[in-house]
Amino acid sequence: MYLLDTTSTAAISIYALLLAAYRSMQVLYTRPINGPAVSAEPIETPAPLPAVDVIVPSFNEDPGILSACLASIADQDYPGELRVYVVDDGSRNREAIVRVHDFYSRDPRFTFILLPENVGKRKAQIAAISQSFGELVLNVDSDSTIAFDVVSKLVSKMRNPEVGAAMGQLTASNRSDTWLTRLIDMEYWLACNEERAAQARFGAVMCCCGPCAMYRRSALAALLDQYETQLFRGKPSD
């Protein structure tokens, strides 16, 4: 029993030491929030603004939340070409969702794709990506709203040809409700401003945030097959 207690204490101590070292390295290598992800020569002459395709997969989403998401995309200040592809992934509340679609279908920038059955977020995204053709692809979750200048700011980072992806800063909309939502919001901040910022220093961000991430199509297209067929413990990852 004493040996087990000693081993457990040692394991916890080693874990705490490694965790402290890991967090310290994150802070050390974190870039300033507004700093460039990689170095590049300044662009002498302004290039044409790239076309941006926004992909919004949706499954059993609350109609009000989906409407708020689409409204935030429609209100973007981006002066370039912007197209929005909303994919309903076989929702059981499709009758209510279609009413939201009908409202935004008045906007010629919006295209709606209705999948006959639920196939998972990855395949829903790919269904839209395969129909779109913009140079940049922005993935937005259906329960997220984005600030009016998100597309413009992300595109400005993607003007550097060495950058393959750029992400938004996540904030929990209900962060003031409970201690748990405050902790979730804190985790979002740390993930974006320390963990991923430190990884960006080495040009190797391990995971882009699902609610708001922009990709260069040429980089995304090379990985779509792997993304669709990725396995987790021998089973398809959905």
* Co-location of 121 and 199 in the same domain: no
Amino acid letter at 207? C
Kindly list the averaged pLDDT for each block of 10 residues, start to end, along the chain of length 238: 63 76 72 50 64 97 97 97 97 94 96 94 93 95 96 94 90 92 91 86 85 93 86 80
113: which strand partners? Answer: 87
Task: Count how many domains the chain has.
Answer: 2
b/e 57-84 (16+ beta carbons within 10 angstroms → b)? bbbebebebbbbbbebbeebebebebbb
Query: Which residues have C-beta within 8 Å of that of residue 194, sequence separation ≥ 6?
Result: 23, 26, 27, 30
**Residue with token string 């993935």:** 139
Amino acid letter at 79? P
Flag whether 20 is in a domain. Answer: no
What's the pLDDT score for residue 50? 96
* Co-location of 227 and 118 in the same domain: yes
- CA angle 138–83–158, rounded 5-degree value: 40
- CA angle 117–86–185, rounded 5-degree value: 100
Q: CA-CA distances (angstroms) from residue 216 to 60, 118, 134, 236? A: 29, 27, 9, 25
**DSSP three-state, residue 65:** helix
Amino acid letter at 171? T
Query: Which pair of tokens denotes residue 107?
Result: 């906007």
Domain at 100, CATH number: 3.90.550.10
What's the pLDDT score for residue 149? 96
What's the pLDDT score for residue 3? 54
- Give pTM, 2 decimals: 0.82
What's the pLDDT score for residue 7? 66
**DSSP three-state, residue 212:** strand
* Co-location of 173 and 227 in the same domain: no
* Co-location of 157 and 221 in the same domain: yes
* Co-location of 115 and 199 in the same domain: no
Task: Give the single-character DSSP code of 59.
Answer: S
* Co-location of 75 and 117 in the same domain: yes
Flag whether 1 is in a domain. Answer: no
* Co-location of 218 and 142 in the same domain: yes
* Co-location of 69 and 82 in the same domain: yes
Residue span of the structural domain in which 84 resides: 49-168+209-237
